[in-house]
């Protein structure tokens, strides 16, 4: 399990696995030390130790753990670690669910409620200091919309976190020094339009918006996982779609528009981008995690593979088995199946297996 939501991302898969009747080995992230210690202390108090175990440790212990043969492996984390997990699973032909990452795009059309969009984008990008796998990773909009959005984004940041977000009790910090230095280095991309302040001692990075960003800039080469929002200028929705389609598949695509054009079949990202992302969200951000009816769905690529959330987690950890039962009577009905085969038997088989259609039902 990862470090960014260490309790939720342990318990949600665990609950589904237990409900489906499995024994489970849990491996918390070694980065979130306090939660790792809590899980080790608390979980055995509520679950059978013979069926549910907690393994702790760093890379060495995780590598040894992956050498074992499991019936199923569920991993949440980065794409490059996902490759390691999948390689280890392949040695035993073990199926996997990988909930990884990718750069989630957010398209904003010229026809939308700018103030509402700004508030939703700032909340989605800055919640948990941006350390959320389904957070919007970059904005796509026209130059005209960018100029309208910037003051609205600045106002939303001020409304949420005050004149100095560093002093706000509602704005988080980056989890570790290594992660802080990586994210801070991304501030060299483009030009800082909002924010940009940092404090290494506190691992603080201010809510930041970058403009004049090029597709080749470092901030566009990896998942940011921090409170930085680059804006990519496009001419229209078609160019935005082409930009998204040319890149790795993300976990989710967000789109904001008050125009039917963006939502009509011939223009809508949900149609053109079919299969390009795990999910498509029109207008809300992150809220797919708040409903058990909406799966966290990954499509093969950087976003991972498989799905979970609500009953989808139960389905992931269970096996859909086909069962058929038939009595031993009426054996003469089986006669056409048995040799020797004659023309009469062929005619009988063709007559009984002819496909006819009635409404939407196929009858054999």
Q: Are 97 and 305 in contact (CB under 8 A)?
A: yes
Q: Looking at the 3D structure of the chain, how many domains does it have?
A: 3
Q: Are residues 296 and 161 in the same domain?
A: yes
Domain check: are 116 and 88 in the same one?
A: no
296 forms beta bridges with: 308
Bridge partners (DSSP) listed for residue 139: 106, 231
Structure confidence by residue, pLDDT tens digits, 314-357: 999 998 888 888 888 888 888 888 899 999 988 888 888 776 65
| Structural domain contains residue 279 | yes
Phi, psi of 321 (to 5 degrees): -110, 130
Q: Rounded CA gap, 344 and 242, in Å?
A: 60
Please write the tens of the pLDDT for every residue from 112-152. Answer: 899 999 999 999 999 999 999 889 999 999 999 999 999 99
Parallel/antiparallel/unpaired status of strands 208-211 and 191-194: antiparallel
- In this predicted structure, what is the pLDDT of residue 236? 93
Dihedral class, residue 154 (left if φ above 0, else alpha if ψ from -120 to 50, else beta): alpha
CB 337 within 8 A of CB 312: no
> Rounded distance, CA 316 to CA 18, Å?
12
Q: Are residues 153 and 271 in the same domain?
A: yes
Q: Which of 284, 283, 254, 258 is nearest to 269 (CA)?
A: 254
Question: Phi, psi (5° rounding) for residue 141?
Answer: -160, 170
Together in a domain, 185 and 297: yes
Question: Are 356 and 219 found together in one domain?
Answer: no
Together in a domain, 204 and 345 = no
Q: Tell whether 19 is covered by a domain.
A: yes
| Residue 161 lies inside a defined structural domain of this protein | yes
Contact (CB, 8 A) for 244 and 259: no
Tell me the CATH number at 125: 3.40.309.10
Q: Is residue 325 part of a domain?
A: no
Residues assigned a catalytic role: 99
Q: What is the pLDDT of residue 287?
A: 60
Q: Are 96 and 119 part of one and the same domain?
A: no
Please indicate, yes or no, whether residues 84 and 112 belong to a single structural domain of this protein. no
Whether 273 and 207 map to the same domain: the answer is: yes
| 10-residue averages of pLDDT along the chain (364 residues) | 90 95 95 92 93 93 95 93 95 94 90 93 96 94 97 98 97 96 97 98 98 96 96 95 90 82 47 49 59 67 83 91 84 86 88 66 44
Domain identity same for 111 and 210: yes
Query: In this structure, is residue 139 part of a structural domain?
Result: yes
CATH number at residue 60: 3.40.605.10
- CA 107/CA 314 separation, integer angstroms: 33
Residues 226 and 272 both lie in one domain: yes
pLDDT of 266 reads 41
The pTM (predicted TM-score) of the whole model is: 0.83
Q: Is residue 229 part of a domain?
A: yes
Range of the domain at 336: 332-363
Task: Measure the CA–CA gap between 209 and 230, rounded to whole angstroms.
Answer: 6
Please give the pLDDT value at position 44: 92
Q: What is the pLDDT of residue 320?
A: 85
In a domain, 357, yes or no: yes
* Same domain as 112, residue 94: no
Tell me the three-class secondary structure of the chain, residue by residue.
CCCCCCCHHHHHHHHHHHHCCCCEEECCCCCCHHHHHHHHHHHHHHCCCCCEEECCCCHHHHHHHHCCCCCCEEEECCHHHHHHHHHHHHCCCCCEEEECCCCCEEEECCCCCHHHHHHHHHHHHHHHHHCCCCCCCEEEECHHHHHHHHHHHHHHHHHHHCCCHHHCCCCCCCCCHHHHHHHHHHHHCCEEEECCCEECCCCEECCEEEECCCCCCHHHCCCCCCCEEEEEECCCHHHHHHHHHCCCCCCEEEEECCCHHHHCCCCCHHHHCCCCCCEEEECCCCHHHHCCCCCEEECCCCCEEEEECCHHHHHHCCCCCCCCCCCCCCHHHHHHHCCCCCHHHHHHHHHHCCCEEECCEEEC
Strands 361-363 and 356-358 turn out to be antiparallel
Q: Are 218 and 186 in contact (CB under 8 A)?
A: yes
Residue 231 falls within a domain, yes or no?
yes
- Cβ burial 326-344 (10 Å sphere, 16+ → b, else e): eeeeeeeeeebeeeeeeee
């Amino acid at each position: 399990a990862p470090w960014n939501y260490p309790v939720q991302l342990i318990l949600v898969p665990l609950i589904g696995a237990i409900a489906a009747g499995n024994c489970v080995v849990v491996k918390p992230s070694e980065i979130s030390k306090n939660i790792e210690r809590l899980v080790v202390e608390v979980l055995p108090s509520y679950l059978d130790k013979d069926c549910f175990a907690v393994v702790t440790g760093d890379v060495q212990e995780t590598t040894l753990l992956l050498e074992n043969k499991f019936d199923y492996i569920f991993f949440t984390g980065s794409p490059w670690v996902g490759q390691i997990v999948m390689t280890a699973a392949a040695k035993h032909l073990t199926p996997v669910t990988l909930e990884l990452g990718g750069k989630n795009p957010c398209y904003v059309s010229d026809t939308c409620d700018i103030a509402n969009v700004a508030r939703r984008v700032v909340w989605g990008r800055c919640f948990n200091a941006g350390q959320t796998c389904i957070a919007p990773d970059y904005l796509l909009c026209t130059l005209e919309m960018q100029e309208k959005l910037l003051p609205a984004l600045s106002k939303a940041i001020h409304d949420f976190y005050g004149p100095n977000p560093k002093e706000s009790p509602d704005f988080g910090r980056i989890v570790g020094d290594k992660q802080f230095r990586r994210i801070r280095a991304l501030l060299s991309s483009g030009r800082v339009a909002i924010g940009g302040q940092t404090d290494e001692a506190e691992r603080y990075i201010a809510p930041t918006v970058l403009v004049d960003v090029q597709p080749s800039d470092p901030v566009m080469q990896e998942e940011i996982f921090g409170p930085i929002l680059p804006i990519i200028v496009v001419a229209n929705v078609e160019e935005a779609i082409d930009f998204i389609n040319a890149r790795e598949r993300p976990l989710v695509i967000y789109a904001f528009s008050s125009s039917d054009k963006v939502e009509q079949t011939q223009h809508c990202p949900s149609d053109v981008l079919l299969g390009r992302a795990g999910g498509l969200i029109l207008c809300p951000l992150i809220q797919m995690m708040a409903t058990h009816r909406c799966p966290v769905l990954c499509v093969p690529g950087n976003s991972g593979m498989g799905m979970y959330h609500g009953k989808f987690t139960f389905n992931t950890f269970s096996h859909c088995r086909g069962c058929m039962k038939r009595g031993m009577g009426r054996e003469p009905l089986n006669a056409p199946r048995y040799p020797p085969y004659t023309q009469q038997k062929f005619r009988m088989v063709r007559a009984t297996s002819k496909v006819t259609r009635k409404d939407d039902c196929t009858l054999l």
